[in-house]
Amino acid sequence: MKNTLFILAIFFGVLSQALAQDSNTEEQCKIFVEQTVKSLADQSKRYGEDTKIDDLSEEKILDLQLKNGSCFAMKEINLRLHPK
């Protein structure tokens, strides 16, 4: 019985840690997206480029960041800031 309780305690500890890590990752992604979009927008304004960022771009970037990693998020950010 002690072993079962110990195993359950470890399982729930690992589960709560994983959930906390996911929420931290999502928060870190949001911060990353916000800072990157602002930074690139500021840079493009400084150099006189036309900057267009639609309202959904940060959500789309965050979604790409969470699913595919920052490489895809950076591509999405650049597409939003510098549409072809």
Instruction: Report how far residue 79's alpha carbon sits from residue 41's, in angstroms, rounded to the nearest whole number.
Output: 12
What's the whole-model pTM score?
Answer: 0.35
Domain count for the chain: 1
- What are the tokens at 60? 């789309």
Domain extent for 16: 2-81
Mind listing the pLDDT tens digit for each residue in 19-56?
A: 455 555 666 666 776 777 777 666 666 656 555 555 44
